[in-house]
A = this chain, B = another copy of it.
Amino acid sequence: MGSRSEHLNQIGIVGLGLIGGSLGLDLQRLGYQVYGLVNRRSTLERARERGLAQSIDTNPSILSNCSIIILALPLSQIINPPEELVKALPENAVITDVGSVKAPVLQTWEKLHAKFVASHPMAGTHQAGVEAGQHGLFRGHPWVATPSKNTEPEALETVRKLALELGSQWMTADADKHDKAVALISHVPILVSAALLGTAIEEEKEEENTDITLAQRLASNGFRDTSRVGGGNPILGVDMVASNTKAIVDVLETYQETLEKIKQMIYSKEWEKLYQELNSSQEMRKEFIKE
């Protein structure tokens, strides 16, 4: 750790859930002094027991000596931060966040702090809460920063180095393009998947034509996979959708047009066209997923 200057050794983490707790564990192992700020006393005790940071408190003044502070709060709280938190952030510290939607975060925080860097580390699990933090969560996963023309290059560089130390794949993108990409690969799949479950709910009402108990007994891999993310935490779902409304509605409309096109092929029994469509889908999936 010799190459890191002394004052950079003090890192604050606001929130010690999945992302914040995992950051705390890895950063301590990397030799940092980690200060954790949490909301509730019960969380504080459990976070101390788990050793998620060396110092943990519910008082924002715990952040006063930190030179890097990571906002690891739910998206809605990052976008509407408590005033006492904003006041407690040292002027010279580099501030970054972990929210999965970037344009509204950037819009809020550019006004609040000169050294803010909007960023989004991708993590691979769906657990949440003080029990969820784990070592090595970021290793091999993308960490996307979305700098604007107002972002300080030195602040960006500080966050980049941190992300690389954690084993992330660093990349930068325009905030709007990031949000559109996330709408496509994360938020719209949730809605598309939830609508499949909603369809089952509707079909259940039509007892005469649909035997939902039979459907449940027959449910196989196709239904299992396609309905998985739609059956996830509804609070997180609403949080994401509410923060990325425009991009989601855009992508959802493209989705609806695509599905309508497929339905028309079926309706008109254009099997050759349907084959071409499904064949393109198969090709496209290979571009996304290496399995």
Distance in Å from the Cβ of A246 to the closest Cβ of chain B? 10
> Do B263 and A256 have beta carbons less than 8 Å apart?
yes
Contact of A124 with B227 in the complex, beta carbons under 8 Å: no
Residue of B at shortest CB range from A237?
B278
Give the docked Cα–Cα distance between A117 and B184 (Å): 45
Interface stretch (choices A14-22, A47-55, A217-225): A217-225
Q: Which of A's residues lie within 8 Å of B, judged by CB?
A: 122, 124, 126, 142, 144, 169, 171, 173-174, 176-178, 180-182, 184-186, 188-203, 209-212, 214-235, 237-238, 241-242, 245, 248-263, 266-267, 269, 271, 274-275, 277-282, 284-289, 291
**Contact: A203 with B254, CB < 8 Å?**
yes
Q: How far apart are A58's CB and chain B's nearest CB, in angstroms?
A: 28
Q: Which residues of B are found within 8 Å of A254, using beta-carbon distances?
A: 199, 202-203
Contacting A289 at CB < 8 Å: which of B203, B219, B249, B259? B219
With the chains together, A263 CA to B216 CA distance in Å?
Answer: 26
> Considering the chains assembled together, what is the distance between the CA atoms of A286 and B259 in angstroms?
26
Cβ of A4 to closest chain B Cβ, rounded Å: 28
Write the nearest CB–CB distance from A121 to chain B, whole angstroms. Answer: 11
| Closest 10 pairs (CB-CB, A-B) | A231-B285, A234-B278, A197-B281, A181-B215, A189-B226, A198-B258, A195-B259, A194-B281, A185-B223, A222-B229
State whether A197 and B285 are in contact (beta carbons under 8 Å apart), knowing that A181-B218, A192-B226 are contacts in the complex.
yes
Tell me the nearest residue of chain B to A267, going by C-beta: B249
Chain B positions within 8 Å of A195 at CB level: 192, 255, 258-259, 262
Question: Among the listed B173, B201, B215, B221, which residue makes an inter-chain contact with A124, where contact means beta carbons less than 8 Å apart?
Answer: B221
**Looking at the complex, which one of B144, B190, B210 makes contact with A184 (CB distance below 8 Å)?**
B210
Whether A275 contacts B177 by the Cβ 8 Å rule is no
A221 to B269, CA, bound (A): 33
Contact assessment for B282 and A234 in the assembled complex, using a CB-CB cutoff below 8 Å:
yes
CA–CA, A123 to B41, complex, Å? 51
Cβ of A238 and Cβ of B274 under 8 Å apart? Answer: yes
**Residues in B neighbouring A223, C-beta threshold 8 A:** 184-186, 189, 288-289
